[in-house]
Amino acid sequence: MLIGLIGGTGPEGRGLAMQLALAGHDVVIGSRDEARAIETSRELAATCGSDETAKRFSGTTNESAAAQCEVAFLTVPYAGMIPTLQEIARQLRGKICVNTVAPLEFVGDQARSIGPPTGSAAEEAQREVPEARWVAAFHTVPARGLLRPGSRLDADALVCSDDEDALKTVIGLSDQMHGIRGVNAGALENARYLEGATALLVNINKVYGAHGSIKITGIQVN
């Protein structure tokens, strides 16, 4: 599968690109600046650990990445989410689009959720581009663990969507990543809890000086 990372030059996009390429997918890094995307794809190729995987990375503009890909991952900050979607709305039509955006602000060293008072960034994105097949996932999977080719995170990707097939596809992609288990977290409206939980997780990680993630116990997923 050809997967596009919109805003893929940051830590989360790079980390997801690394894991998806290691799982055997071709990944195209998108950026507002094509040269930065190409540079990022070269850096990922140089650190992925095998010539076979290195061939799977490429870089281009966000618009071109959205046009080329079969599945898009949106990995821009909340402030850039709507402007980015306005630029690539046409290219996303009919495609699975995985929204990783957790709207956060920092007050001192504390993270706070700044999502819409009702709903979520995920639902805002869906309203902006209703023709895409929206999935919200990976909010609680820290970029740092994704970026290291040999790491096993032992984390859950909590996946929400109103589109059953899209949800299954993204759970499948999650399961292909080292140390990640995809968990069906229900309808897209549940994304508000994932986005809020991200602030909590960031603050817990601050307390422990760690890069922990969230794992649901007591469920049988397969």
Ligand X SMILES: NC(=O)c1ccc[n+]([C@@H]2O[C@H](COP(=O)([O-])OP(=O)(O)OC[C@H]3O[C@@H](n4cnc5c(N)ncnc54)[C@H](OP(=O)(O)O)[C@@H]3O)[C@@H](O)[C@H]2O)c1
**Residues at the site binding ligand X, with contacts judged by CB under 6 A:** 7, 9-13, 31-33, 36, 75-80, 83-84, 100-102, 138-139, 141-143
- CA dihedral sign of residues 18, 20, 25, 31: negative
The smaller minimum CB distance to ligand X, of residues 96 and 136, is found at 136
Residue 145: what residue type? G
Q: How far is the CB of 51 from ligand X (least distance, A)?
A: 26
The smaller minimum CB distance to ligand X, of residues 52 and 204, is found at 204
The smaller minimum CB distance to ligand X, of residues 66 and 165, is found at 66
The smaller minimum CB distance to ligand X, of residues 102 and 160, is found at 102
Contact 182, 221 (CB under 8 A): yes
Contact 157, 137 (CB under 8 A): yes
- Measuring CA to CA, which residue among 179, 37, 157 is closest to residue 99? 157
- Measuring CA to CA, which residue among 13, 212, 203, 191 is closest to residue 105? 203
| Terminal alpha carbon distance of the chain | 23
Q: How far is the CB of 163 from ligand X (least distance, A)?
A: 21
* 49 vs 41: CA distance, rounded Å: 14
Residue 91: what residue type? Q
Contact 62, 39 (CB under 8 A): no
Q: How far is the CB of 84 from ligand X (least distance, A)?
A: 5
The smaller minimum CB distance to ligand X, of residues 55 and 211, is found at 211
Helix (H) or strand (E) holding 62: helix 62-68
Q: How far is the CB of 129 from ligand X (least distance, A)?
A: 15
**Shortest-Cβ-distance residue relative to ligand X:** 80
Q: How far is the CB of 75 from ligand X (least distance, A)?
A: 4
Q: How far is the CB of 10 from ligand X (least distance, A)?
A: 2
For residue 189, give the DSSP letter: G
Contact 54, 60 (CB under 8 A): no
The smaller minimum CB distance to ligand X, of residues 29 and 48, is found at 29
